[in-house]
């Protein structure tokens, strides 16, 4: 039976976004404060996932050996470094979260069986690379506060209470929602990005966060006047709102994760759009985790 193991590692490093082919004004417009001459730093957290068969020792791989490989080829050269200068790849392509994850895969692939590389630049920004050519995934986390009531107008109060429990109370209740938006795209060979992060955040703000924040969803968001604002329905509606604007930025909306409480979350995974000559299959999934 197949199994997969995960190894976490950490490193601290700085980087700078600057393209010599652009003027200073163009760089500033594109990258903002990221162009500062001495760069800026992050405490990166790396997760390496490796698949395989469980051997007679009860292991997929010897984690002690895995630790040494990751240290030798990744964390030792990257820790306390200025990324733009540490690896030759970063002299050609900016060391964005996406491109760092991609490059780490290239460094480890000759030594470890890899399923995915996930790199956190900060708590609400991370990238995942799965070995799909130059395509990778970028996730942005956000949050909003809102109230809702779970009830159908065509059901009696008693029946709503049977289905939704205390959530059917007439005056509703509130949550501090967490939202994760994952997009998929091809890494630009110069910028190292799959999407302009500032523009992506603007789309999320305009389409979802501002319309939903500090509202009573049933009353203030027209869509939920006729649709019960469960976590599943909220996530599906967010996907509907974001899909086209994100496509306009040159990448694909891949996943929406909505966290309603520490105990309840919902994920909507969209089909991956591939070239017509691709034989790879895509899947749509909606998962409620409770």
- 3 state DSSP class of 226: coil
Express each pLDDT in 12-71 by its tens digit.
Answer: 999 999 898 889 898 888 888 888 888 899 999 999 999 999 998 899 999 999 999 999
Look up residue 114 and give its two tokens: 């890899």
One domain for residues 186 and 282: yes
Q: Do residues 255 and 207 both lie within one domain? A: yes
Sole residue written with tokens 């919902």: 266
Q: Are residues 86 and 185 in the same domain?
A: no
Number of domains the chain is built from: 2
Dihedral of CA 8/134/74/181: which sign? negative
Condensed to tens digits (0 to 9), the pLDDT of residues 102-118 reads 999 999 999 999 999 99
The CATH number linked to 238 is 3.30.479.10
Give the tens place of pLDDT for each residue, 134-192: 999 999 999 999 999 999 999 999 999 999 999 999 999 999 999 999 999 999 999 99
Establish if 193 belongs to a structural domain.
yes
User: 107 with 10, same domain?
Assistant: yes
Residue 162 falls within a domain, yes or no?
yes
User: Is 37 in the same domain as 88?
Assistant: yes
Closest CA to 70 of 155, 150, 148, 11: 11
d(CA 229, CA 149): 7
Predicted pLDDT at 179: 98
Residues 148, 96, single domain; the answer is: no
Element (H, E) at 11: strand 2-15
Last residue of a domain, one of 122, 143, 173: 122
Q: Please check whether residue 74 lies inside any domain of the structure.
A: yes
| pLDDT digits 0-9 by tens, 245-271 | 999 999 999 999 999 999 999 999 999
> Does residue 113 share a domain with residue 69?
yes
> What would the pLDDT profile of 70-79 be if each residue is shown by its tens digit?
999 999 999 9
Domain span including residue 36: 1-122
- Any idea which residues carry the catalytic annotation? 167, 214, 260
Give the number of residues written for the chain: 290
Q: Let me know whether 33 and 153 are in one domain.
A: no
Task: Tell me: do 155 and 53 sit in the same domain.
Answer: no
């Amino acid at each position: 039976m197949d199994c997969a193991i995960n190894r976490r590692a950490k490193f601290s490093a700085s980087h700078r976004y600057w393209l010599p082919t652009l003027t200073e004004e163009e760089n500033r417009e594109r990258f903002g404060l990221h162009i500062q001459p001495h760069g800026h730093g992050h405490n990166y957290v790396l997760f390496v996932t490796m698949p395989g068969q469980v051997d007679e020792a009860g292991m997929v791989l010897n984690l002690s050996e895995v630790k040494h490989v990751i240290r030798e080829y990744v964390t030792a050269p990257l820790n306390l470094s200025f990324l733009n200068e540490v690896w030759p790849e970063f002299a050609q392509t900016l060391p964005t979260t996406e491109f760092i994850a991609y490059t780490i895969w290239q460094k480890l692939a000759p030594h470890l069986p890899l399923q995915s590389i996930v790199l956190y630049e900060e708590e609400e920004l991370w990238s995942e690379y799965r070995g799909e050519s130059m395509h990778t995934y970028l996730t942005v986390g956000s949050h909003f506060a809102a109230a809702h009531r779970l009830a159908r107008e065509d059901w009696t109060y008693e029946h709503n209470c049977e289905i939704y429990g205390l959530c059917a109370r007439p005056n509703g209740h509130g949550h501090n929602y967490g939202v994760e938006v994952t997009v998929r795209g091809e890494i630009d060979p110069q910028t190292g990005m799959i999407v302009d992060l500032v523009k992506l955040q603007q789309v999320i703000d305009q389409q979802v966060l501002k319309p939903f924040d500090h509202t009573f969803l049933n009353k203030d968001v027209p869509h939920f006047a006729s649709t019960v604002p469960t976590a599943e329905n909220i996530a599906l509606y967010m996907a509907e709102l974001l899909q086209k604007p994100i496509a306009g930025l040159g990448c694909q909306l891949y996943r929406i994760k909505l966290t309603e409480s520490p105990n309840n979350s919902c994920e909507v995974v969209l089909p991956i759009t591939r070239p017509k000559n691709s034989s790879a299959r895509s899947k749509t999934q909606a998962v409620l985790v409770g």
